[in-house]
Homo-oligomer: A and B are copies of this chain.
Amino acid sequence: MSSEGEISSFFESSPPLKNMEEIVEKLNQFINWNFSWQGGRRIVCVTSGGTTVPLEQRCVRYIDNFSSGNRGAASTENFIKAGYAVIFLYRRGTCQPYCRYLPDDPFLECFEFPDKTNNIQVRASHLEAVKMAVMDQQRVAVSERRLLKLPFSTIYEYLQMLRLVATALKDIGPYSMFYLAAAVSDFYVPWESMTEHKIESGSGPLEIRLAQVPKMISILRSNWAPKAFCISFKLETDSKILIEKATKALRKYKVHAVVANELSTRKEEVVVVSSSGNVVVRRDCDKPESIVEDNLIRIIVARHSTYIIESQLLIPSTSTTV
């Protein structure tokens, strides 16, 4: 487990967030709006996509984690459907909520201006996908103000933004959730030991020594937002070690559940590993439109409800938690 010293030295050596004040203001407005709305909406922070690790300070090369962001986007839609407000902390350029059915090249494929005027038309084949991307997304993000999208690229941005979100959500205690689906780098080059300029090619093989990124989930659980419901993810390519590693992570980081998924089957099934046992969650094979997140979020939301009730029973009435 990472020591607090390692964690604070990671943050001290990180390049500072450029738009921190703007993010904090957006977060506070979003949380106030949603938590005061008709007695309070639950708020989940969904993290999505992979983080990058720069290899050079003036960055040309970096290490990245493969992650389309599909899991985070689909889960966000399901949390919204279940009545939640969602802070979507996502890797720039990855899959967006309500946009999963758009083709790869939407401006080439979805539209036409049939009479060369300003009257754009959507091709019939893509009408449902475009309506979802425009109407559903705008309703949720703009009219209802239930979706706040915050983009990151590097591991430095991601961890600093996660800390801001956790701090902003602290006051709403068990009504908040962290659903940590982002693929976070395990290794990085500490900023101060990084070369300033582009690494020169042409002089034989290159050796890179990478340090471990301190695990932030422990400090999220213990300090940043100790009363929030917390779900983490474990992705492996080898099914033999998957459940064992997920179970270890559950104990080590004291999260409420770990969603275990294997790279090749992750769209068909996942396993929710928790102290009450392991539950295999599959998509409904008889419904072609069904995705594994439909059933996964149903289970997670039910467990969050139980957690809120139990927290209320346990908490003395003098507590500040609602």
Q: Which residues of A contact B (CB under 8 A)?
A: 52, 55-56, 58-66, 92-93, 96, 98-99, 102, 104-108, 111-113, 116, 118, 120-122, 127, 130-131, 133-135, 137-138, 141-142, 149, 151, 183, 185-187, 196-199, 201-202, 204-212, 235-238, 263-264
The distance in angstroms between the C-alpha atoms of A298 and B186, with both chains bound, is 46
Check B59 against A238 for contact (C-beta < 8 Å): no
Check B61 against A65 for contact (C-beta < 8 Å): yes
Please give, as numbers and ranges, the residues of chain B lying within 8 Å of A133 by CB-CB distance.
107
Say how many copies of this protein the assembly contains: 2
The distance in angstroms between the C-alpha atoms of A99 and B135, with both chains bound, is 22
Check A212 against B208 for contact (C-beta < 8 Å): no
Residue in A92, A135, A149, A204 with the greatest tally of chain B CB atoms within 10 Å:
A135
A62 touches which of B66, B98, B141 (Cβ 8 Å)? B66
Please give, as numbers and ranges, the residues of chain B lying within 8 Å of A55 by CB-CB distance.
63
Assuming the A-B contacts A58-B263, A66-B62, are A149 and B205 also in contact, with contact meaning beta carbons closer than 8 angstroms in the complex?
A: no
Please give, as numbers and ranges, the residues of chain B lying within 8 Å of A202 by CB-CB distance.
186, 212
Check B201 against A205 for contact (C-beta < 8 Å): no
Assuming the A-B contacts A113-B131, A134-B112, are A60 and B235 also in contact, with contact meaning beta carbons closer than 8 angstroms in the complex?
A: yes
- Say how far A270's CB is from chain B's closest CB, in angstroms: 16
Check B66 against A61 for contact (C-beta < 8 Å): yes
- Say how far A322's CB is from chain B's closest CB, in angstroms: 31
Please give, as numbers and ranges, the residues of chain B lying within 8 Å of A127 by CB-CB distance.
118
Please give, as numbers and ranges, the residues of chain B lying within 8 Å of A93 by CB-CB distance.
93
Please give, as numbers and ranges, the residues of chain B lying within 8 Å of A107 by CB-CB distance.
96, 98-99, 102, 106, 130, 133-134, 137
Assuming the A-B contacts A61-B65, A111-B134, are A205 and B197 also in contact, with contact meaning beta carbons closer than 8 angstroms in the complex?
A: no
Secondary structure type dominating chain A contacts: mixed
Please give, as numbers and ranges, the residues of chain B lying within 8 Å of A92 by CB-CB distance.
104
Check B236 against A198 for contact (C-beta < 8 Å): yes
The distance in angstroms between the C-alpha atoms of A52 and B64, with both chains bound, is 9
- Say how far A252's CB is from chain B's closest CB, in angstroms: 10
Assuming the A-B contacts A58-B263, A238-B197, are A208 and B205 also in contact, with contact meaning beta carbons closer than 8 angstroms in the complex?
A: no
Check B122 against A237 for contact (C-beta < 8 Å): no
- Say how far A56's CB is from chain B's closest CB, in angstroms: 7
